[in-house]
Amino acid sequence: MGADAWTVTNLTEAVGAPLGVHQPAAWADAAGGRYVVFQGYSPVTGGTGHLHLLRAAARGGEPGEGEQGERNRTTDLPADTSWAVTDLTALTGAPEAATTARGYARSADGTQHVVYQGRRFDGHVHELSCFDAADDWAHRDLTAVTEAPLALSQPSGFETRYDDTQRVVYQGRDGHIHQLAEGGGAWRHQDLTALTGSPACAPDAAPAGYGFDARRSAHVVVRTADGHLLEYREEGGEWAWTDLTLATRSPVASDAEMVCGYVLAAEPTQHVDFVGGDGHVHELWRGDGEWEHSDLTAAAGAPPAQATTQPASYAAEGGPGRPTQHVLFVGRDAYVHELWWAAPDWHYTEVTSAVRGSLRVLGHPVGFAVADGTHDGCYLADTHELVLLRARA
């Protein structure tokens, strides 16, 4: 992969989508379909509270290949007209969103899920889910269903395939980390802080989770007020916690709301990425042994990151080549940069700053791998337009 491997498309301009606000959510399903969810924006009133979906059906070809329409004025690349736009809030009659939504796919039944906190921070965790390819979206109030404590942070969802369970985690108004899980038709609530006796997380932090199928374990990571990273892990139905910062003697994390964790299944290893107070992107990782620390910025000779950026990290394992790891982050120049690993080394690539006319980032990027061997990133620009990044691993 080199600097020319990425394509950059202004999705708002190419598709005619509404302007956006807050960080978008983006993911791919097992078939290669791509999804971006974001809250709409009005220059007059600000956030509209409506969540909009951009969806592209799975299809083959190199990034940009087979796309029709006018050439994208941001990048001089063909515009991606395969994306369809849906107002999920209007479609489902669901409550409006407070800020950011998170999304994920459930591979067992091919469903798509979006979770968010309601307008005016009502403390309720709302879910929008789609059970087929015909945009048959429905709303469910998970807080009402489970009678769980009210949320303080934005919720985040993920699946664990080894037990066919979907999970939603959030920080409650009690300062505890809570999980809502469904693995047999009924949703249930667990207070992870109370179950493990862990320290409190930072009041402005939101947890995120991932599944480790090779170990049949679930993992949730969150930042404390002093910049330590806590990991909650479930194995065999029992929860425990670890202070990853103490375990690895790594630098403390910056004040970004969320920390990113993922698995490289080919190894198999688990990874947690964050920006430290030194502006470097750091990774905590574990194989068969103990947790270890790597300074990715130093390893790749990359420029420093914005102090409070949330790196977007993921593994690309679906293509014909060797598995690779990718970390997208916002530099101090407000452009997207990439750290990527192909055995045995970490490398650095300029992404948007290397493309003529690219828009600067407002907030944080998101990234994900696609089944066809490509991988995507997405971010909200300072013009409130959505920008799609695409490359082949």
pLDDT tens, residue by residue, 209-258 = 999 999 999 999 999 999 999 999 999 999 999 999 999 999 999 999 99
- pLDDT tens sequence across 6-59: 899 999 999 999 999 999 999 999 989 999 999 999 999 999 999 999 999 876
Task: Provide the pLDDT for residue 66.
Answer: 35
Taking 70 as the threshold, does the pLDDT of residue 263 lie above it? yes
How distant, in Å, are the alpha carbons of 50, 224, 360 from that of 176? 28, 12, 35
- What is the percent of the chain with per-residue pLDDT over 70, rounded to a whole number? 91
- Looking at residue 311, the DSSP 8-state letter turns out to be -
pLDDT in tens, 274-299: 999 999 999 999 999 999 999 999 99
Tell me the mean pLDDT in the region 151-158: 98
Give the strands of the sheet with 292-295, arranged side by side: 260-264, 269-275, 281-286, 292-295
Residue 332 has pLDDT above 90, yes or no: yes
Mean predicted lDDT score pLDDT of the chain: 91
**What is the CA 19 to chain-centroid distance, rounded?**
20
Give the DSSP letter string of 37-89. EEEEEETTTEEEEEEEEEEE----SSTTTT--SSBPTTTSSB--TTEEEEEHH
Q: Judge whether residue 5 has pLDDT over 90.
A: no
Number of domains in the chain: 1
| Planar angle of CA 62, 210, 121, nearest 5 degrees | 100
What does DSSP assign to residue 253?
B
* Domain span holding position 256: 3-392
Q: Is the pLDDT of residue 117 over 60?
A: yes
User: Residue 344: is the preceding peptide bond cis (ω within 30°)?
Assistant: yes
**In angstroms, how far is CA 210 from the centroid of its own chain?**
10
- Which CATH number goes with the domain that contains 144? 2.120.10.70
Give the pLDDT score at 372.
Answer: 84
Say if residues 86 and 92 touch (Cβ distance below 8 Å).
no
